[in-house]
Amino acid sequence: MKIYFNGKLVPKEEAAVSVFDHGLLYGDGVFEGIRFYGGRVFRLDEHIDRLYLSARAIALDIPMNPDEMARAVVETIRANDLTDGYVRLVVTRGEGSLGLSPRSCPKPTIFIIASTITLYPDEMYQNGLKLVTCATRRIAHGALSPMVKSLNYLNNIMAKIEAEQAGAGEGLMLNEQGYVAECTGDNVFVIKNGAITTPPISAGALAGVTRAVVFEMARELGIPIREENITRYDIYTADECFLTGTAAELIPAVVLDSRPINDGKPGPITVRLTKRFRELTATTGTAIN
């Protein structure tokens, strides 16, 4: 396996981050997860744009322009002779002294991994995912904006631990006001009376790239869609529920807190959106070769 590491493609054994790197010491950095299908990178420009916005939000200056970063992603995939898989693109604050100040970090660390990923087993895509509400609340905007896709994922990890210990496939996270924010790694959508609703970014949700694709597909298919605060009641009483994420793609959710959502099976609108999403991933994207 070849890793893009600070401007060079190197064997994975040589892609070593310093123990003094602030990404490791403090979670100081940003990242993107990117999918590629059939020799095309899906929504590459959107992912690169979000990476640079996240970096700007934390005052991290990336020493490459977006076009150079996009080319590096494609080159890394090509170097690993892959046509389908997952990219993890990471930019840390870089190596520095002990202490929080980023002033001791003169140069960011950049690495890109191209590999494969299976977030959920196939049967969950066919039959649906079980959710459980987590006690861990989503970090508030005033503490750290959910718009920043940072390396500090401990909040999500603690909620994920709760979900796994409860035997659920994913954990539902609420904000401090009790509204649904998102799941531990996915955006959440509900469908009621033929219309789709998802929490607004202000509720604590990440502005997911796949989330944006759902808005595009819904408009194309003539399905009403809106951003609106929702509670667990809205999921308990929904006709359908599904989650989205780059790694998760689009997956139905059929149970919340041991309560079936409607009949406990993936619904027709979710199935329709999933079909269209797979068509898009199979036919669109930035060519690898």
Strand order across the 286-287 sheet: 8-11, 2-5, 109-115, 85-92, 29-37, 40-41, 286-287
Active-site residue (options: 107, 149, 265, 275): 149
| Catalytic status, residue 12 | no
Phi/psi region, residue 147 (left: phi>0; alpha: psi -120 to 50; beta: rest), is: alpha
What is the set of active-site residues? Answer: 149
